[in-house]
């Protein structure tokens, strides 16, 4: 592989115009496709194999035209102090609002609070439900504006009016913090590479790669039903790995220049060595992201595949576009150790032979490996403690900032009707084939009323055929509580008894039940996913490192870092530690897909650092150095770059903490803290300590396996032979000329 990539690097350097034109044309093509494509909405949230999804599908079948997936809004009214919503003036204002909303182009139904039981017992709060014929993200802007205008007209009459539901759902914004993250990355690149131009290359190529990836996702969003957050997560991961992969190739190019090689040769060797590491690091990320499909949640599968595609583009750009732009840069990209004049280049060095920070740190770890190992493991173990109290759920309006009308509507409904009113359960009774469907509906309602934690059970509402009915159930506790989850399980248990006695099927659905089923499905999939992804990557790393213990150490180190990161997420978003600093206005359960998503993404990124760092160590060992010295040598050449890459990735992920979307905000924080733990504790401390303790045993591989495994030559051993042969050919040509 090293030889092939070496030739690819030289070709890209030499034919830079062709390579650059190819990528510019690809970017333009993707951009044109994105410009002409309809805007992305929310991906349809289906959960195959769950009871909630089965009930949802049954509603679509038995209640045609009911727009089960249509957007909803609750317009919540509160009377001024000392008044009630039943006062004539307030009643007239509410009915004017209902009439105004009923005329909307996309509205299918508006309920009158005074006819549908929408007034609280104390008479101070009322609500009107609005149902639309299309999902929230597909609503015309005019429909949203009409909803807001109707609420504003009601406010003019003196009422407090807020709007809840998904009708006001908007595409999440990442905020200016993302730009700050890119700015931090630029500063780190300048410090690491010692040149403004050299620092600009990774940023430029990463932006090109993310541009192609995100534009392609946008172009295909409507066709493939990709959600609005898909492109945000793809850009988050693509930008981080794109900068890192480019940084490793540029750094290796400068190191090759420092050894006196010509620029084209240096580009070839950089791609042949660092590029090999990029390929395998990218493969681990792609495996982890594509592996999300085993969970069998379409939205998560699409997010993973889209992000994996962006990572693949980043790898290809690092192997081709980077050497091409290095060819354009020429002598303005300086050898390692030299800085541009603008950054202090050309000054005399006081201590030319002073070991760099990576050398000094590795030497310290090699001298005290056991102490460093214990400190790192205990520290991460302590950070992981909060993960033991992890509670899972999906965000609702109760997790919105208190400044939003959705959150204020949520609070008003809780005040007037109880916390469970914000998470009603929908029980679907399928009595098709029953001799007396109406009796079955009555029996189901009566048994549900007898359960604990039930505030209200509405009368059964049958369809036109009379064989299926829906029963609305209001829990006593808020949607994300354990009590509501227990109630869902109790209703399903009662439904099983009804089925045994009557043959009718009782199913529970609604947003709350769907959230519970999602959490359970993700929990059930976590272990198989870990086995698949870690197993495949373990086999891949055996091929890369030709060792059993090094990949095993890499996997165990990853588990430590991801558990510690989950602990930090729980501490901030569930317990409320540093919540003000992170912009968390409301603590609560952790998003259901957070653990499995973090496992996938963090594993891929963790293996990036493992491959980049340990391949350098193995390269030194393969070339004859003793194990301890090889660790020091590997750190001398790669610690600075790995550190810079980690800081860049942390900065990019941290930028997404400023997103308006709670899911993106939490993922940004989780990935940033996970990279911090993995890069600086696991890879920079635990890894060298373990390698120092293992010594030569770290590279042990059974002879039969050594013979069976392909030699991928990540360290570039074949390049030395290739260079020797090339040198011999040059000498022969000189002799012929003489």
The pLDDT tens digits for 220-246 are 876 776 766 677 778 878 887 888 888
Phi and psi at residue 335, to the nearest 5°: -60, 160
pLDDT digits (tens, 9 = 90+) for 645-702: 888 888 878 877 777 667 778 888 998 999 899 989 998 999 999 999 999 898 888 8
Q: Is 426 helix (H, G, I), strand (E, B) or coil?
A: strand
Residue 736 has what pLDDT?
37
Q: Distance between CA atoms of 380 and 692, rounded to whole angstroms?
A: 20
User: Six-digit token pair at 479?
Assistant: 């949607």
Q: Distance between CA atoms of 399 and 407, rounded to whole angstroms?
A: 7
How long a stretch of residues is the chain?
738
Residue 255 has what pLDDT?
85
CB atoms under 10 Å from CB of 346, counted, come to: 8
For residue 256, which of 326, 319, 321, 315 has the smallest C-alpha distance? 326
* Cα-trace Rg, the chain: 30
Instruction: Give the contacts of 56 (CB within 8 A, at least 6 positions apart).
Output: 46, 68, 509, 514
Cα of 251 vs its chain's centroid, Å: 28
Burial of 482 (0-12, 13-18, 19+ CB in 10 A): exposed
| Pairing outcome for strands 392-393 and 590-591 | parallel
| Pairing outcome for strands 454-457 and 468-475 | antiparallel
Residue 649 has what pLDDT?
82
- Do residues 97 and 128 lie in contact, with contact meaning Cβ atoms separated by under 8 Å? yes
Q: Distance between CA atoms of 473 and 463, rounded to whole angstroms?
A: 18
pTM of the model: 0.78
For residue 236, which of 320, 175, 323, 317 has the smallest C-alpha distance? 175
CA dihedral 556, 558, 561, 565 (to 10 degrees): -130
Phi and psi at residue 583, to the nearest 5°: 75, 25
Side-chain-side CA neighbours of residue 292 (13 Å): 29
Q: Distance between CA atoms of 600 and 388, rounded to whole angstroms?
A: 20
Residue 342 has what pLDDT?
47
Residue 170 has what pLDDT?
60
Q: How far apart are the first and last CA of the chain?
A: 37
Q: Distance between CA atoms of 653 and 656, rounded to whole angstroms?
A: 6
Regions of the chain short of the pLDDT cut 50: 341-344, 346-352, 724-738
Residue 45 has what pLDDT?
58
Residue 99 has what pLDDT?
92
Q: Distance between CA atoms of 455 and 450, rounded to whole angstroms?
A: 10
Q: Distance between CA atoms of 599 and 666, rounded to whole angstroms?
A: 14
């Amino acid at each position: 592989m090293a030889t092939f990539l070496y030739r690819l690097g030289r070709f890209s350097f030499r034919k830079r115009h062709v390579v650059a034109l190819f990528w510019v044309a690809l970017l333009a093509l993707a951009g044109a496709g994105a410009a002409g494509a309809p805007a992305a909405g929310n991906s349809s949230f289906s959960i195959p194999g769950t009871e909630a999804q089965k009930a949802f599908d049954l509603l679509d079948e038995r209640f045609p035209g009911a727009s089960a997936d249509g957007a909803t809004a609750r317009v919540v009214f509160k009377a001024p102090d000392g008044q009630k919503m039943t006062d004539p003036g307030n009643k007239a204002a509410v009915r004017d609002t209902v009439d105004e909303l009923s005329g909307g182009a996309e509205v299918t139904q508006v309920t009158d609070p005074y006819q549908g039981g929408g007034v609280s017992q104390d008479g101070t709060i009322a609500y009107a439900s609005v149902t639309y014929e299309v999902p929230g993200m597909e609503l015309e802007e005019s429909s949203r504006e009409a909803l807001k205008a109707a609420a504003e007209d009601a406010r003019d009459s003196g009422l407090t009016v807020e709007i809840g539901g998904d009708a006001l759902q908007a595409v999440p914004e990442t905020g200016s913090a993302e730009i700050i993250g890119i700015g931090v990355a630029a500063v780190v690149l300048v410090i690491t590479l010692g040149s403004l131009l050299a620092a600009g290359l990774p940023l430029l190529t990463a932006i090109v790669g993310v541009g192609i990836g995100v534009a392609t996702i946008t172009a295909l969003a409507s066709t493939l039903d990709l959600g609005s957050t898909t492109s945000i997560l793809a850009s988050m991961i693509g930008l981080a790995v794109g900068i890192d992969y480019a940084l490793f190739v540029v750094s290796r190019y400068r190191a090759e220049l420092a050894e006196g090689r010509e620029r084209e040769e240096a580009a070839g060797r950089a791609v042949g060595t660092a590029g090999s590491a990029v390929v395998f690091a990218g493969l681990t990320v792609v495996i982890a992201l594509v592996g999300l499909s085993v969970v069998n949640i379409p939205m998560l599968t699409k997010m993973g595949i889209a992000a994996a595609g962006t990572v693949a583009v980043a790898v290809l750009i690092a192997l081709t576009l980077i050497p091409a732009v290095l060819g354009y840069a020429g002598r303005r990209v300086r050898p390692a150790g030299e800085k541009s004049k603008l950054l202090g280049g050309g000054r005399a060095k006081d201590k030319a032979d002073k070991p760099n920070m990576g050398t000094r740190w590795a030497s310290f770890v090699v001298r005290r490996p056991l102490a460093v190992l214990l400190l790192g493991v205990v520290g991460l173990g302590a950070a992981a403690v909060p993960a033991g109290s992890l509670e899972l759920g999906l965000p609702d309006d109760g997790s919105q900032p208190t400044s939003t009308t959705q959150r204020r509507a949520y609070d008003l409904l809780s005040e007037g009707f109880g916390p469970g009113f914000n998470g009603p359960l929908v029980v679907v009774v399928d009595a098709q084939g029953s001799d007396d469907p109406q009796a079955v509906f009555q029996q189901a309602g009566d048994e549900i009323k007898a359960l604990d934690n039930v505030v209200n059970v509405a009368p059964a509402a049958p369809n036109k055929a009379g064989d299926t009915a829906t029963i609305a159930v209001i829990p006593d506790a808020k949607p994300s509580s354990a009590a509501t989850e227990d109630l869902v399980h109790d209703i399903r248990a009662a439904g099983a008894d009804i089925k045994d006695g009557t043959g009718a099927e009782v199913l529970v659905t609604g947003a709350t039940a769907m959230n519970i089923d999602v959490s359970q499905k993700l929990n059930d999939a976590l272990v198989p996913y870990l086995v698949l992804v870690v197993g495949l990557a373990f086999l891949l790393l055996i091929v890369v490192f030709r060792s059993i213990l090094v990949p095993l150490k890499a996997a165990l180190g990853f588990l430590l870092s991801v558990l510690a990161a989950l602990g930090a997420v729980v501490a901030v978003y569930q317990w409320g530690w540093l919540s003000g600093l992170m912009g968390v206005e409301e603590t609560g359960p952790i998003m259901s897909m957070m653990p499995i998503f973090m496992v996938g993404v963090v594993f891929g990124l963790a293996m990036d650092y493992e491959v980049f760092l340990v391949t350098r160590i193995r390269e030194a060992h393969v070339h004859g150095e003793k194990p301890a010295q090889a660790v020091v040598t590997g750190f001398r050449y790669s610690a600075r770059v790995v550190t810079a890459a980690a800081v860049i990735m942390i900065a990019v992920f941290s930028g997404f903490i400023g997103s308006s979307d709670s899911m993106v905000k939490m993922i940004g924080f989780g990935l940033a803290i996970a990279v911090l733990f993995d890069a600086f504790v696991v890879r920079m401390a635990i890894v060298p300590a373990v390698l120092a303790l293992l010594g030569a045993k770290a590279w042990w591989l059974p002879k039969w396996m050594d013979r069976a495994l392909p030699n991928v030559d990540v360290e570039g051993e074949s390049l030395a032979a290739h260079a020797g042969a090339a040198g011999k050919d040059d000498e022969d040509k000189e002799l012929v000329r003489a």
